[in-house]
Amino acid sequence: MRLLPLWDTLLMSHRDKSWTVPLAAERPLVWRKAAYVSSVVLVRGRVVGTWKMQRKGSVLNFELDPLSGWDKAPHLPGFRAEIEAVARHLELEPGVTP
Q: What band does 95 get if pLDDT is binned at 50, 70 and 90?
A: confident
Say how far apart CA 73 and CA 43 lie, in whole Å.
Answer: 13
Q: What is the pLDDT of residue 17?
A: 83
Say how far apart CA 53 and CA 37 lie, in whole Å.
Answer: 15
Taking 90 as the threshold, does the pLDDT of residue 84 lie above it?
yes
Model-wide pTM > 0.85 = yes
Taking 90 as the threshold, does the pLDDT of residue 35 lie above it?
no
Q: Mention every residue, 6+ apart, whose C-beta is less than 8 A from residue 85.
A: none
- Structural domain count, the chain: 1
Q: pLDDT digits over 36-74, tens only?
A: 899 999 999 999 999 999 999 999 999 999 999 999 999
Q: What band does 97 get if pLDDT is binned at 50, 70 and 90?
A: low
* Residue-range definition of the domain harbouring residue 32: 2-94
